[in-house]
Structure 1
């Protein structure tokens, strides 16, 4: 079963339209000119504007130093007219990511990247929660595998999922192939965020598995692909449930980020 992320996202937006419109603006900060980062921000901007939310994008050159960026963040965050602040990742490698993120007031942290200090749930974790609820997946007594230990996907998903399933395995992309094969074959739920096209194939999974794919990369032809290769699904995999790429987790993630903005500005 293909899990239609665009449809689920539209349902979230329809619910948000019924709520009072936040009067404050949603601000975003972009350092450098990473095309993927700019593309992600444009999606967030489009969603915000469609709901009538004022969206402000602040662009800074890649050669800005950390202290300079911190001062800009603090100035934007101190504005009472700003109700939410996004710092688009990744940042330049010479930056202390945690120190930068710590500059976001927790009542404006729509990405919920401050972990236990955040007042909202990470949009990635909330997207997983949304999908599992939509398909009626009960985590109790299930075995889940998280592929990828990254800051943006693996870590928030692990924190959300670890006390909800019976067993959980977290694999790095460099894990032993035998362990990967054994884990994937037994998993009821696989959440992947590695960014390596074709990393997971249908014939490696249980026929009833659920695959939630946050992986994002472009192949040699520039086509966007996820970690799960859905093109290999055949008659033997008819009970698989999976998110496609594009059109799977991405739209829901954007919708849940906007939902966080509403929740922080009630």
Structure 2
């Protein structure tokens, strides 16, 4: 067999070299070897040792001799493997990037839809406020003007405290006039929305549902993050139910759930009861 012939040839070569080596060593040489010849001799001895190891391995084991690939081939194989790994990583990252881009597009569309819905609701609230606004008359205008003039004699804080105290005293008629004057005089100040809220409370007490709803709309415009805003939203829904405007009441309650999820339990209970009255789905 070729394998056995290779082993026999290698063995013969080893035996020849082994036999000749002493003779070469005993032969006197006139000149020493130069450096290049010494290197060549070292390489030959290395080859002999490798051949001897191959011969002994085949003789002792009786199995085919496995010759390892050259170092360069091994490095090429290793680099090929690494390149394949990098290609798989790049493919996976491209897939993740496409998924992230799709999710971002979906989130952007959802945000635009939410903004459009909020703008639509704001427009509806504005239109409702305009429909609920009471018609102005000369007598009422003069009275409101007198109340506003009286309110300007005090600072916003003082006018707010005086109107609030009238409510605490149970004098709702005087409180209603005081809050009306406050809203006309200081409605555009920081305390203006809260003044609208308390003004709506006095109007609700005497059953002026349309005027109360208008006041509450002014209070919750912009959905402020204040302690009284959740109650003002529920009160607006209650007044809309009283005015037989169930769909608008349900819209207000829907915003209540979204804007004020941590509202006090008693306010959430009244919101649930109002939703049942309005037959919200």
For this structure pair, what is the TM-score category when the shorter chain's length is used for normalisation?
under 0.3
- Tell me: higher relative CO, structure 1 or 2? Use CA pairs within 8 A at least 6 residues apart: 1
| TM superposition score normalised by structure 2 | 0.24
Q: Which has the larger radius of gyration?
A: 2
Greater share of helix? 2
**Greater strand content:** 1
Scaled by the length of structure 1, what TM-score is found? 0.25
